Amino acid sequence: MSKFIRFIKKSYLALILLFLYLPIGVLIVQSFNAGKSRAKWEGFSLHWYADLFKDRAIMEALQVTLGVAVIAAIVSTVLGTLAAIGIHSMKKRPQAFMMTLTNIPNTMPDIVTGISLMLLFIFTKVERGFVTMLLAHITFDVPYVILSVLPKLKQMNKHSYEAALDLGAPPVYALFHVILPEIMPGVITGAMLAFTLSLDDFVISYFTTSPLVQNLSTLIYSAARRGIEPTLNALSALMFIALLILLLIVNRRTADNSKKA
């Protein structure tokens, strides 16, 4: 009976994984199909990938995506790290209040965040485009950086910073030479997580940009309404592989940090 139950559990897990990843596998396979038909295999070819890099609209969207992701990751990492240090130094009740505020954006649906930011930009008469998309990405990236850095601050010896000040180190010097080296694994993990989330975002980007400035996710959505082109299969396959590699790196670093702790 116990063997049968284990078999059911494994079968159930296999079906769930198959349901989740089979469509992605089909998409990747179709990106190598020589023909446009999704119902018939017409031979192996890489020409859709070649056409992908010749498509001007996709290349411009790629530049916007990478530009927003890199800048948002850098800015949110700086702001999130400083915020985490400030929250960690607070007393218990203010710290709990700030942690509640930090967790709200993480639990809020993306569509609520996207619409609220869109209304804010409309109210302040800020023209939507690259800058507004960048500000939106920084906004939702910062809480994830804070949550990545805070555990490392809690693991650090709380008297190290005070000892550095007692020995004559200026606060800025103590920050860069005492605190940052201790929390650097959390900072790097937060930066990579912010970059990955920004690279993958669609809903918030859709509401905070204009049709003239598109990242890859909004471009794919617009193109899909006119029909799926094989170049989109190639683009989606490359995005999936890139995000998978980044997530594996983040998870590996998180696991290594947990083992060290």
CA separation for the pair 152, 179 (Å, rounded): 10
Q: What is the pLDDT along the chain (261 residues), one digit of tens a residue?
A: 566 677 777 788 788 888 888 888 888 888 888 777 767 777 788 888 888 888 888 889 889 999 999 999 999 999 999 999 989 888 888 888 888 888 888 888 888 999 999 999 999 988 998 999 999 999 999 999 999 999 888 888 777 887 888 778 888 888 888 888 888 888 988 998 899 889 888 899 999 998 888 888 888 888 777 777 788 888 888 888 887 887 787 777 666 666 665
Pure H helices in 55-213:
56-88, 92-107, 110-123, 130-155, 160-166, 171-174, 180-200, 203-208
- Which architecture does CATH list for 45-260? Orthogonal Bundle (1.10)
Q: Euclidean distance between the first and final Cα of the chain, in Å?
A: 40
For the chain, the structural domain boundaries read 1-30, 45-260
**Beta bridge partner(s), residue 44:** 33
CA separation for the pair 191, 145 (Å, rounded): 7
Cβ atoms of residues 221 and 206 within 8 Å: yes
CA separation for the pair 114, 106 (Å, rounded): 13
